[in-house]
Amino acid sequence: MASLLLFGCGGGGGGGGGTGIPLVGNPTGQAGTGGQFDAGQNNGDQTAGNTSGSGTQGGTGGSAPVPATVAMANKLGKPSRVLVGLGATSIDDMKSQDIHPDIVERYLVGVGPGSWPTWNSPDGAYVTFTAQAADAYGAVPMFTLYQMTANGEGNLSGISDATFMSKYWGQVRLMYQRIAELDKPALVNVEPDFWGFAASQAPGRDLTKMAAAVSGQPECATLPDTVAGLGQCFVQMGRKVAPKALIGFPPAFWNGTPVEVAAMMRAAGANQADFIVAQTSDRDAGCREAASPPPECQNGSAPFYWDASNKTSPNFHDNQKQYSDYRTALGNGLPILWWQTPMGVPSDTPGGTDQHYRDNHVDYMLTNTQEYGDMHTIGIVFSAGAGSQTSISTDGGQFARLSAQYLARGGAALK
Condensed to tens digits (0 to 9), the pLDDT of residues 190-213 reads 999 999 999 999 999 999 999 999
pLDDT at 23: 27
φ/ψ of residue 211, rounded to 5: -70, 140
Half-sphere exposure for 179 (CA within 13 Å, toward CB): 27
> If you average pLDDT over residues 240-248, what whole number do you get?
98
pLDDT at 1: 34
Residue 287 in this model has a pLDDT that exceeds 60: yes
Q: What are the start-end ranges of the E strands in 62-180?
A: 83-87, 103-109, 140-146
pLDDT at 63: 77
> If you average pLDDT over residues 245-261, what whole number do you get?
96
Residue 352 in this model has a pLDDT that exceeds 90: yes
Neighbours of 96 (CB within 10 A): 12
Task: Please name every residue paired with 85 in a beta bridge, in sequence order, or none if there are none.
Answer: 103, 381
Condensed to tens digits (0 to 9), the pLDDT of residues 116-175 reads 999 999 999 999 999 999 999 999 999 999 999 999 999 999 999 999 999 999 999 999
Of all residues in the chain, the percent with pLDDT exceeding 90 is: 83
pLDDT at 55: 41
pTM: 0.88
Condensed to tens digits (0 to 9), the pLDDT of residues 304-328 reads 999 999 999 999 999 999 999 999 9
Written as one letter, the residue type at 286 is G
Q: What is the mean pLDDT of the chain?
A: 88
- 3-class DSSP state of 171: helix
Half-sphere exposure for 239 (CA within 13 Å, toward CB): 16
8 A C-beta contact, residue 377 and residue 365: no
Residue 11 in this model has a pLDDT that exceeds 90: no
What CA–CA distance (Å, rounded) separates 273 from 21? 30
> If you average pLDDT over residues 346-356, what whole number do you get?
98
pLDDT at 25: 31
Q: Set out the domains of the chain in order of their start, with CATH numbers.
A: 67-408 (3.20.20.80)
Residues 6+ apart with CB under 8 A from 204: none
Task: Please name every residue paired with 381 in a beta bridge, in sequence order, or none if there are none.
Answer: 85
